[in-house]
Amino acid sequence: AADSDTDYGDFDFIVVSNRLAVDRVTDDEGNSSWRRSPGGLVTALAPVMAKTDGAWVGWHGAPDEALDPFDEGNMRLVPVPLSEDEVELYYEGFSNATLWPLYHDVIAPPEFHRTWWDAYRRVNERFAKATAASAAHGATVWVQDYQLQLVPKLLRKARPDLVIGFFNHIPFPPLEIFAQLPWRRQVIEGLLGADLIGFQRPSDASNFLRCVRRFLGHTIRQQQVQVPADGDAPAYVSRAEAFPISIDVNAITELAKRQDIIERSREIRRELGNPKHVLLGVDRLDYTKGIGHRLKAYGELLEDGSITVEDAALIQVASPSRERVEQYRLLREEIEGAVGRINGTYDTMKNTAIRYLHHSYPVEEMVALYLAADVMLVTALRDGMNLVAKEYVAARTENRGALVLSEFAGAADTLRQAVLVNPHDIDGLKSAMVTALNMPPAEGIRRMRIMRRQVLQNDVERWSQAFLTALRNGSAGNSDA
Ligand code: G6P
């Protein structure tokens, strides 16, 4: 009765994320079109959403443009507009120059600005409002990632009938680092609006729970937080648990078996001059990915003669990302400088040391690259999960190839047969690359087979089912409506 004047929407299931699966791009002539959005979140959620008839609430990637909801496949896309200013303050500022570096072990120094925080609050309110307007009575809403941490609490307040989940795709930092955030209480309270808060790794969940205890003083039993009553709002239980994310395994393995893609992978090797070894790195151009450390190690291997440009070629795909954020500009200078120095020193008329590609590619080309590569290099300094590592493993249908994988990526929790490495240790990184390059075939096959079994059994469908089942079961016990 309390919400008799609430306007309910039509959807029983809603995903909310900063980005929709598609980005609106406008070319020089002013023609606009849609393009798939970058990053792991969309990689994971697009196949999940394609199978449910729910709504996806998110930004469509262009500033100062209000679009009506539209249908794509069997889902409804609900665009949330951002002004030019909000792109700068909420997206580039608070999300990607405050939270992103803070949550990734302060690899780059986070900046704290009150104007950014104000915009973050304002935009989170807009997302919560758009979601509330689309949600049917009792609907399940699943909020995604660090850009929208205030949405769960705002939604719970506006719509106590909803079942609210949250998933954090990136790491949750240790208390000692999170403590720097001037708005740490508000962020934790925002997240606790969810009935279930999902993290990539158990350590992320326990970092979060430590922060809840320290900064809010709530009672915690195992992974359950007792959130006390607040005015009219009743007390409830919010839970924090790990749900490691994955990929659409079938989509990747199907592509890996397609004749034209296999042929394309051969062509890639031919175009490189058929070297004995092809190594591959695929990352958004982001300072968390450890691309500079990887290049340093590779350069030293060329210098000491462990590898030669005739025998080995490194393909480094660095897809453009957050290009107006200062740290990303600096990184691009640094990486392109390093590539230029190494190629300038070791290239011959015929061979090049590093094939550097500042592009993003469709998934078909990505799979061709995975098939072309003997060694995949994932050397992130910190990464929530890293889905490129899982995609490489899924694509290796013949169980050949080696994965060099950073201990600091969430994927290292499960892909134990990779050549695991601490990317800060340049000598360790060099020897990991050499180990991968010289892995005896039988040993390589044994390792890849175990990793493939792991990835094939845990695809993204299973991830979303596990989360949503836990969300619905737990919440049924909680509701005293
Ligand atoms: C990571 C984040 C996502 C983000 C993606 C791409 O995967 O977890 O939330 O969408 O990077 O970054 P962008 O800033 O382009 O959305």
DSSP 136-168: EEEEEEEEESGGGTTHHHHHHHH-TTSEEEEE-
Query: Active-site residue numbers?
Result: 169, 383
What separation in Å is there between the alpha carbon of 337 and the centre of ligand 1? 25
Which residue's alpha carbon is nearest to atom 8 within ligand 1?
Answer: 169
Instruction: For residue 5, name the pLDDT band (cuts at 50, 70, 90).
Output: low
What is the residue-averaged pLDDT of the chain? 95
Query: Which atom of ligand 1 lies nearest, measured to the CA of 169?
Result: 8
Q: Mean of the pLDDT values across residues 257-277?
A: 98
What is the rounded distance in angstroms from the CA atom of residue 186 to the CA atom of residue 182? 9
What separation in Å is there between the alpha carbon of 318 and the centre of ligand 1? 14
Instruction: For residue 474, name the pLDDT band (cuts at 50, 70, 90).
Output: confident
- Estimate to the nearest angstrom the gap between the alpha carbon of 118 and the chain centroid: 25
Cα angle: 139, vertex 145, 149; to 5 degrees: 75
Query: Which atom of ligand 1 lies nearest, measured to the CA of 95?
Result: 14
Query: Which atom of ligand 1 lies nearest, measured to the CA of 43?
Result: 7
What is the rounded distance in angstroms from the CA atom of residue 474 to the CA atom of residue 234? 17
Instruction: For residue 28, name the pLDDT band (cuts at 50, 70, 90).
Output: confident
Residue 61 above 80 pLDDT? Answer: yes
**Ligand 1, residues 37, 104, 390: which to mutate, most atoms within 8 A of Cβ?**
37
Q: Mean of the pLDDT values across residues 239-267?
A: 97
Which residues, judged by CB distance below 6 Å to any ligand atom, belong to the binding site of ligand 1? 18-19, 38-41, 145, 169-170, 321-322
What is the rounded distance in angstroms from the CA atom of residue 459 to the CA atom of residue 159? 32
What separation in Å is there between the alpha carbon of 39 and the centre of ligand 1? 5
What is the rounded distance in angstroms from the CA atom of residue 386 to the CA atom of residue 363? 16
Backbone angles phi, psi at 110, to 5 degrees: -70, 150
State the pLDDT at residue 4: 54
Instruction: For residue 475, name the pLDDT band (cuts at 50, 70, 90).
Output: low
What is this structure's pTM? 0.95
> Residues 242, 451: contact at Cβ < 8 Å?
no
